[in-house]
Structure 1
């Protein structure tokens, strides 16, 4: 999909250099999602594109850190409650990994900014399932198309990206 949104995201977020990804892989390019998440109009536009990918669900589950602003804006656009998912449970207070809306017995859509291999997502989805949630889909802003979709599918999770690496590259190549 070559789109004005893909072009704006690419121009705002694409960096070149040497970058170590969360997966441990090294890449000569990087999509710095914090750059679009820091721009209110662009954040809202990306979140709106992501809401169009939502299946029927009870709540959104925003992944720490980049999925939280997206899930928050998506919640504002849809009226769905939001769960904020920590990378690990905090050691004090409620000692929970998921904050906000309850997850037990609820159908959740997990919200992430960029997916590479899906490793962090898989761990969080397992934790949410252990708390009694049903994960109906994972929606992300950008799929780097480096195995994340297949890794999620292997555990019965469908990845629904608003934009893919191919979309972003096509948008800049097209003009």
Structure 2
């Protein structure tokens, strides 16, 4: 679990914010706020926003759909950086970006601590991660460890209907 060890995570967050900031400056991109999907991205996004000196907001699921709730709003033309803990497929990140765009904001960059996507995330804006991991993912029923009688694989992601699929 990425968020289990706060001392390591805090160091990673401090490193991620300057890396993202340098990438944004090099591309001529500035951010007005940071937006993260709940739950895993909240701690990371908050720390990156604090480091960049911009407001932080988060999206959360209302059933299946990702939304801004709790009085959060984004302004028209607001430049938003979407920050995640781990990007595997990029779906939650893209859903969060879509919420920002639907509110009239403009997603200018995406950042995460870990990139597991293998480059298949589908992001159309600059993307920075601290660590890239090549970890296999199998369709339900194809996990070799499960076939060998190991404990059942559980997907810990944010989509309820997909949680029990590896």
Q: TM class, shorter-chain normalised?
A: 0.5 to 0.7
Which of 113, 121, 132 is matched with 2:93 structurally? 121
Q: C-alpha displacement at 1:101, in angstroms?
A: 5.5
Name the SS of the counterpart of 1:74 in structure 2: helix
Higher RCO, 1 vs 2 (CA within 8 Å, ≥6 residues apart) = 1
Deviation at 1:73, TM superposition (A): 1.6
Which of 9, 12, 24 is matched with 1:46 structurally?
Answer: 12
Match status 1:107 vs 2:74: no
Aligned residue pairs total 124
Output the TM-score relative to the length of structure 1: 0.62
Distance 1:157 1:78 in 2: 18
Cα distance, 1:161 vs structure 2: 0.7
> Is this contact kept in 2: 1:116–1:147, CA < 8 A?
no
Higher helix fraction: Structure 1 or Structure 2? 1
In structure 2, the residue matched to 1:138 is 110
Which segments of 5 or more consecutive residues in structure 1 lack a partner in the other structure? 1-31, 91-95, 167-175
TM-score of the superposed pair, with normalisation by structure 2? 0.65
Deviation per CA, 1:97-148: give whole Å up to 9, x if none: 2554534320000000000110111122112101101000110000013344
CA RMSD of aligned residues (A): 2.4
Partner of 1:67: 41
Q: Which runs of 5+ in 2 are unaligned?
A: 25-29, 135-166
In structure 1, the residue matched to 2:68 is: 97
Q: Which runs of 4+ in 1 moved over 4 A?
A: none
- C-alpha offsets along residues 136-174 of structure 1, whole Å, 9 cap, x if unaligned? 01100000133444x12xxx23321111116xxxxxxxx
Is the CA contact 2:3–2:9 (under 8 Å) kept in the aligned structure 1? no
SS of corresponding position for 2:54: coil
